[in-house]
A and B are shown apart, each in its own frame.
Chain A
């Protein structure tokens, strides 16, 4: 089952512009992660934001989290052609009395940055 859903499904911008992607999720979480995937192969972790944080920065990345709306956004500033990739949000499920843990991914946003 899908916990997170990204929006938009696809985004095309020019180099130098900012890109914003959104993620909505359904159940309470203690953190949310964003991953990036190039060319349909392995995913790379970008950033993790905890539920008690509202905003977090890492280089040109800015992530926000609104737990009341169950949503997160990923902003990439001053985009580059090399930022072209699919971006996924991932939310954790902790279960079995806190002894098990898995991440559920959304369908992703395909970002194309044109030179």
Chain B
């Protein structure tokens, strides 16, 4: 597609429920990133995929959070047993992996706003 697509754009769930957020990156972008942004804060890194593998998942806050990218394109961020503190905008971004210049410019989706009641 022309841009990074994220679904759903808004998700309201109850505490304890399971949630999946989907990201469809720009075709051909091998690098895919998930960030979380709380009100008034900058994007906080969660996880980075290079192809199908999670190259760095050091930003995932705990084992309730998990992400996959099985075919190296679409990625799903999964949150188990949601808590009110998980409420935030979850941003996905993709990038070409230009190791020659090491200039990775991220293209972001519009985000998925998660509200946990």
A interface with B by C-beta (< 8 Å): 2, 30-31, 33, 35, 40-45, 48, 50, 88, 90, 92, 94-96, 98-108
Encode B47-84 as 1/0 by CB contact (under 8 A) with A: 01010000110000000000000000000000000000
B6 to chain A, nearest CB (A): 8
Q: How many residues of B contact A (CB 8 A)?
A: 31
Alpha-carbon distance A101/B50, docked complex (angstroms): 9
Query: Does B42 sit within 8 A of A, measured CB to CB?
Result: yes
Given A30-B102, A40-B37, A96-B55, check contact A101 B108 (CB 8 Å).
Answer: no
Query: Does B107 sit within 8 A of A, measured CB to CB?
Result: yes
B interface with A by C-beta (< 8 Å): 4, 31, 33, 35, 37, 39-45, 48, 50, 55-56, 89, 91, 93, 97, 99, 102-111
Name the CB-closest residue of A to B9.
A41
Given A2-B42, A42-B91, A107-B42, check contact A101 B105 (CB 8 Å).
Answer: no
Residue in contact with B89 in the complex, picked from A41, A94, A95, CB distance below 8 Å? A41
A105 engages B102 (CB within 8 Å): no
